[in-house]
C-alpha cells in the first residue's frame, strides 16, 4: 500500500474507511465483567449509576434509562397523552422514530419543513402547521445541532402543546450555552453504536419532573408500581428496560465523554479544512452564539448538479463508506401508503435530502484517512 502524505493519498491507493466506529476499550470490558460476576444482570445498581452519571453529564435532575431512543420517544408520547385524533408536528428530515413514536399512540404525524442551513424544524413552518388537533411538537436536534428550542417552546406555550425534544443525536450539544436536556423540555438520547456514546442499544429520557420520572420508570417496567411487588402492575406498561450489561458499557462511555466529544470536534474541523475548497459543496453549518453542535455525523450537501449515486459508487470503489442521510420520512413507502404523503409537501427538506451525504466519521478517524476521503470526494465530483 502506498503511503499517504499530508496532501492526500496517491490515486492507486485503496483503503477501507468505515462510516462509523465506536470507541470501546479495557474500561468497558472491566465494567461489563464486574456486572457479569455480580449476577445482577437486570434492574441492578449499574443502571442507577448510569442514570446518575447521565443526569450529571446533561445537567438534568432526573434520567430514566430505556432500551432504545425509540422506546424513550414512545414513552414521552404516552406521557403526553397522545392518542387517536391528535396530531404531532415533527421534522421530515430525521430518523423515522421521531414520527413513529406518535403513530404508536394512534396519533397522526404532521411534517413541517426545515431550515435549509440547520436542517432543523423551522419554527414558522411548525407554527403554520398547528391545527385544533395538534397536541405535541417533536423537535429533533438533527446531526447534533440543537433545534430552535426557545421559539418552539413559545409556540407550544401559545397553543397549549407538549414539546418533546428528540436529542438522540445530540448528547453534549449546547443551546444558549447550556447542555441540551438541562433546561427542559423532556429529552431523549440514544446509544446505537454510531452515536457519540454507545451501549449497543439503549436510550435515556431526561426530565425535570420527579413525578414524570417515576411514571417513566414504571412504564418502562411493565407498569409496575413504585415499591410494589414484581407481579403488581399499576398501569399498562412496556418492557423498555435497559439491562445492567449495557448500563455498564454506558458508564465507561460517560467516563470518557469529554474526550469523545473533543475528538469528534477535531475530526469535524479537519474535514472543514480539507473540504472547504471544493466548489459548491455544502458543509455542515457552523456553531453560532446560541447553537453549539455535538458532532454525531459529518454530512455534506453535494453540489446541486452532482450525481449523488455516481459519487457514492465512486467512493465505494475506493473503499469509502457513505450513507444517504437522510431520506425524508414523509416519502418513505409506508408513510405514502398510510397517509397519502407526496413530494412537494416539504420542499426544503426534500431538496436537501436529495443532496446530503454522510462521510466516514468517528472519534478516532485518523488524519490520513480523512485526507483520503477528501481526495476521493474531490475526484468523484470532477
Ligand X SMILES: Cc1ncc(COP(=O)(O)O)c(C=O)c1O
Please, what is the minimum distance in Å from the beta carbon of residue 96 to ligand X?
A: 8
Residues in 192-221 at the binding interface with ligand X, rule: CB under 6 A: 192, 203
Contact 17, 320 (CB under 8 A): yes
Report the C-alpha gap between 356 and 324 in whole angstroms. 7
Neighbouring residues of 141: CB distance < 8 A, sequence distance ≥ 6: 120, 147, 165, 166, 167, 169, 170, 173, 180
Q: Which is nearer to ligand X, 95 or 213 (CB)?
A: 95
Closest of 207, 219, 171 to residue 191, by C-alpha: 171
Q: How many other C-beta atoms lie within 10 A of the C-beta of residue 330?
A: 22
Task: Give the contact letters, 10-49, x = binds to ligand X (CB under 6 A), - = no.
Answer: ----------------------------------------
| β-bridge mates for residue 214, sequence order | none
Please, what is the minimum distance in Å from the beta carbon of residue 254 to ligand X?
A: 16
- Which stretch in 8-16, 43-51, 164-172, 374-382 sits in contact with ligand X by CB under 6 A? 164-172
Report the C-alpha gap between 189 and 185 in whole angstroms. 13
Report the C-alpha gap between 50 and 251 in whole angstroms. 5
Closest of 204, 150, 133, 141 to residue 173, by C-alpha: 141
Contact call for residue 126 and ligand X (CB under 6 A): no
- Ranked by CB distance to ligand X, the top (closest) residue is 69
- Which stretch in 62-70, 205-213, 250-258, 346-354 sits in contact with ligand X by CB under 6 A? 62-70
Please, what is the minimum distance in Å from the beta carbon of residue 198 to ligand X?
A: 10
User: Residue from 190, 260, 267, 297 that binds ligand X (CB under 6 A)?
Assistant: 190
Contact call for residue 94 and ligand X (CB under 6 A): yes
As a whole number of Å, the end-to-end CA separation of the chain is 25
- Which stretch in 94-102, 148-156, 281-289, 301-309 sits in contact with ligand X by CB under 6 A? 94-102
User: Residue from 69, 123, 237, 360 that binds ligand X (CB under 6 A)?
Assistant: 69
DSSP per position, 277-309:
TSTTPBPPPPP-SSEE---S-EEEE--TTS-HH
Please, what is the minimum distance in Å from the beta carbon of residue 302 to ligand X?
A: 21
Neighbouring residues of 336: CB distance < 8 A, sequence distance ≥ 6: 330, 342
Q: Which is nearer to ligand X, 142 or 248 (CB)?
A: 142
Please, what is the minimum distance in Å from the beta carbon of residue 30 to ligand X?
A: 25
User: Residue from 80, 102, 168, 371 that binds ligand X (CB under 6 A)?
Assistant: 168
Contact call for residue 68 and ligand X (CB under 6 A): yes
Hey, what's the cell of 259?
A: 474526550
Using CB under 6 A, list all residues that contact ligand X: 68-70, 94-95, 97-98, 140, 166, 168-169, 190, 192, 203
Amino acid at each position: 500500500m502506498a503511503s499517504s502524505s499530508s496532501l492526500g493519498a496517491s490515486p492507486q491507493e485503496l483503503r477501507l474507511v468505515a462510516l462509523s466506529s465506536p470507541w470501546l476499550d479495557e474500561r468497558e470490558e472491566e465494567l461489563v465483567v464486574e456486572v457479569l460476576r455480580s449476577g445482577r444482570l437486570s434492574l441492578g445498581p449499574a443502571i442507577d449509576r448510569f442514570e446518575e452519571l447521565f443526569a450529571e453529564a446533561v445537567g438534568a435532575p432526573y434520567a430514566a434509562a430505556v432500551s432504545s431512543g425509540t422506546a424513550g420517544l414512545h414513552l414521552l408520547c404516552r406521557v403526553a397523552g397522545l392518542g387517536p385524533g391528535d396530531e404531532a408536528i415533527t421534522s421530515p428530515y430525521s430518523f423515522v422514530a421521531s414520527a413513529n413514536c406518535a403513530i404508536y399512540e394512534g396519533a397522526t404525524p404532521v411534517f413541517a419543513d426545515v431550515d435549509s442551513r440547520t436542517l432543523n424544524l423551522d419554527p414558522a413552518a411548525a407554527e403554520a402547521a398547528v391545527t385544533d388537533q395538534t397536541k405535541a411538537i417533536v423537535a429533533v436536534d438533527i446531526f447534533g445541532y440543537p433545534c430552535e428550542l426557545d421559539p418552539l417552546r413559545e409556540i407550544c406555550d401559545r397553543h397549549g402543546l407538549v414539546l418533546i425534544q428528540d436529542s438522540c443525536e445530540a448528547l453534549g450539544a449546547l443551546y444558549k450555552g447550556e447542555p441540551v436536556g438541562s433546561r427542559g423540555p423532556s429529552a431523549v438520547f440514544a446509544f446505537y453504536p454510531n452515536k457519540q456514546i454507545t451501549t449497543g442499544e439503549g436510550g435515556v429520557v431526561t426530565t425535570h419532573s420527579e413525578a414524570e420520572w417515576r411514571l417513566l420508570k414504571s412504564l418502562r417496567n411493565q407498569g409496575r408500581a413504585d415499591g410494589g411487588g414484581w407481579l403488581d402492575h399499576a398501569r399498562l406498561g412496556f418492557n423498555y428496560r435497559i439491562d445492567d450489561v449495557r448500563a455498564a458499557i454506558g458508564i465507561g462511555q460517560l467516563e470518557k465523554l469529554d474526550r469523545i466529544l473533543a475528538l469528534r470536534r477535531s475530526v469535524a474541523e479537519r474535514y472543514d479544512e480539507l473540504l472547504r475548497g471544493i466548489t459548491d459543496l455544502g458543509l455542515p453549518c457552523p456553531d453560532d452564539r446560541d447553537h453549539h453542535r455535538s458532532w454525531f455525523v459529518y454530512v455534506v450537501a453535494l453540489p446541486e448538479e452532482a450525481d449523488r449515486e455516481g459519487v457514492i459508487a465512486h467512493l465505494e470503489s475506493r473503499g469509502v463508506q457513505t450513507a444517504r442521510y437522510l431520506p425524508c420520512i414523509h416519502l418513505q413507502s409506508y408513510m405514502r401508503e398510510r397517509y397519502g404523503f407526496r413530494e412537494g409537501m416539504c420542499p426544503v427538506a426534500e431538496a436537501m435530502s436529495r443532496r446530503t451525504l454522510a462521510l466516514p466519521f468517528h472519534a478516532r478517524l485518523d488524519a490520513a484517512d480523512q485526507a483520503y476521503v477528501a481526495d476521493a470526494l474531490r475526484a468523484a465530483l470532477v
